[in-house]
Structure 1
């Protein structure tokens, strides 16, 4: 980043030896200053002087205090450019809680978002106020931050919610807090399916009415059938949706552990291709490789998922890009970076298949080719360009079959620059109106808006959609 506060300039000036005048500000300095938030990894920002001394003891060598207290925790916003213009990766300082104008007024809804990259949304009339980035709800500090944020928004905006909305997953802290918040106030509550919320958030942002075809691609979201979704074609019409297509499911050997270890997803692909016997030798450096092969053969602790996020993990594992991820999305990000280091390549001919009614996209032909690729950068580019062509084919088939002209692209996988750009340009070239997230992130940081939008259009009784 560039220095944007006086303290940044003072630190640079001190490190440069306190030169006279201003000329030094136009010269490249032989050092870097790295700024990061004052918090332990995964926990909320530390905003109090006393809190900092306690929480950051042993991490910080010194503290620069100020007598001006910080009132609200708020991270830096993170934005990148894509084919549609600026795109939020994280929406926070400078952007929240700026209102998002809705097409219609409705009852005030408090929507509690999901688990990862949580944010909450509060509506008033025809405006929606989405909070700053709160974070992953996997520790007590972030869960407390969520509750602080709800109380602050209700107070500063002077809104008493009339309805509450949440994700379908019952184990999410956000879902549990929604239940307790609604019960304490006698409010109706709506559970909104994760991928429905992804598409609805974009409809709300752009004021789009009428039925649309939604392509929702992300890591995971609980489906209405109790399985892990993540690569879905949905027909969305307001508060109702129909699942009309999915990616051919892959096994998750070891359950959630497979989401953190891409080599396991690569092993699942080999099993799908009838090459289970190759798993142990291909991943000989992994002590669990033989066990995973047996698990896949016997279908033990191998739930199925249609997740596009796991497809990216599988490609990274097959190409040797990353065996184990240190953080969510790392393998997919590295794969994208490799692909961007090369020019586009022609997609594989017959690199995918659609079933008879076009409801399932089968990527096994692409997998068969990737297994034998020995140049990771080329393989990454081939994967991206073939995947984009396959998705365009799938969407065009489904949209024309149903007479839909509006296509909505939502979910965390659309943070991938190559994928989002290729689909937007490709579908536009086929004559479709394409809608994407612009004022909110396409990932789980935006689903609270979608939950609120759906709940506004739902009868005021407890309901799970």
Structure 2
């Protein structure tokens, strides 16, 4: 037997009835039916066989709750996710359109559905990773997204400067690799071996340096999560993670302690390129816990400052005062509080996730809402593609 289905309500009804199969990590599915959202339990990561079976059973339970035939089935763009496969199979079985929704677009869609935001917004979607519509790994995104029943209209406007991920997925588990990538990006690759060999071994440090030099197994990612890893690795706070986001959580804890003790501490920063800031963190790594805490605070203030500055520019350019925050990095309250305060000081309205939460466990709502809007607008099977920049501006007039 599957666990109980939970139901929540939205401030306005969806324009179509959609079942969404969620993400890969912290997977959770939902059925969007009118103003009701029927939620499956959180299944966990779909790399586990038990989680895959639980998702399949939950889809059956959700389908039984539908008040009528499904008008679409929504899924992530990644073709290899089990959730995508389940969605495609269900769509074929029911002869309903299967609609792919970009991961970060979906994070912003969650908040738009929960708050019924009218008109375009600037969406800041920050997390560990999600497949972009260009095939690369995203995670530090500034998007233009339309509101309410036109949420399927979106455009990627800017992003954090990408870093290479030496060893690909291994870099997400070992923050020292992202710190090494930052060194390489700073033109200081010759420091990788002497800095990291004492912690990870000569062969591992030399191997990562070689990967970076030759650009082998080094996919680039704009992920905010990977920048957190680079900062934690540069400060010597994390070499290998025992669990997901351990490095980022340690960095947040140190930053919070420093900022509570130094409430006047500020850092003027307006760039989405964090490489110069991480260069400073390397100088603090061996100077003791207080220096590390100061470095953690510097990183948070720089990230918040750069995002707030660029989001404000984009809001003015695109004629909106609404900014939406979405993605798992906003579980970090230091970042969320500092960024939100900076945006409000700039005269912008800030919308944050509510009941569904900021992480992947709530992503299915964004998938479902966007697919419902696309279906209402005449979309059929396929992915919800970004609109051209000029078309995005035209929809605001």
* SS of residue paired to 2:19: strand
**C-alpha deviation, 1:151, in angstroms:** 1.3
- 1:73 is aligned to 2:21: no
CA–CA distance in 2 between the matches of 1:313 and 1:445?
A: 22
Aligned residue number for residue 371 of structure 1: 282
Return 149-158 or 200-209, whichever deviates more: 149-158
**C-alpha deviation, 1:135, in angstroms:** 1.1
When the two structures are superposed, what TM-score results if normalisation uses the length of structure 2? 0.89
* SS of residue paired to 1:384: helix
CA–CA distance in 2 between the matches of 1:413 and 1:240?
A: 24
Aligned residue number for residue 330 of structure 2: 414
Aligned positions of 1:2-401 closer than 5 A = 72-73=2-3, 97-156=6-65, 160-237=69-146, 238-284=151-197, 285-287=199-201, 288-343=204-259, 344=263, 346-349=265-268, 351=269, 353=271, 361-373=272-284, 374=287, 375-401=291-317
CA–CA distance in 2 between the matches of 1:105 and 1:231?
A: 28
Structure 2 portions without partners, runs of 5+: 385-397
Aligned residue number for residue 87 of structure 1: none
- 1:442 pairs, out of 354, 358, 369, with 358
CA–CA distance in 2 between the matches of 1:386 and 1:193?
A: 27
Task: Give CA deviations for 1:31-71 in whole Å, capped at 9, x if unaligned.
Answer: xxxxxxxxxxxxxxxxxxxxxxxxxxxxxxxxxxxxxxxx6
**C-alpha deviation, 1:386, in angstroms:** 2.2
CA-based RMSD of the aligned residues comes to 1.5
**C-alpha deviation, 1:99, in angstroms:** 2.1
**More helix as a share of residues:** 2
**C-alpha deviation, 1:72, in angstroms:** 4.2
Aligned residue number for residue 395 of structure 2: none
8 Å Cα contact 2:14/2:369 also seen in 1: no
Higher relative contact order structure (alpha carbons within 8 Å, sequence separation ≥ 6): 2
8 Å Cα contact 1:106/1:126 also seen in 2: no
**Larger Rg belongs to:** 1
**C-alpha deviation, 1:100, in angstroms:** 2.2
Change (3 A) 1:352 1:264: farther
Return 385-394 or 301-310, whichever deviates more: 385-394
Structure 1 portions without partners, runs of 5+: 1-70, 75-95, 354-360
When the two structures are superposed, what TM-score results if normalisation uses the length of structure 1? 0.76
* SS of residue paired to 2:61: helix
CA–CA distance in 1 between the matches of 2:209 and 2:315?
A: 39
CA–CA distance in 2 between the matches of 1:277 and 1:221?
A: 31
* SS of residue paired to 1:113: coil
8 Å Cα contact 2:18/2:371 also seen in 1: yes
Return 162-171 or 147-156, whichever deviates more: 147-156
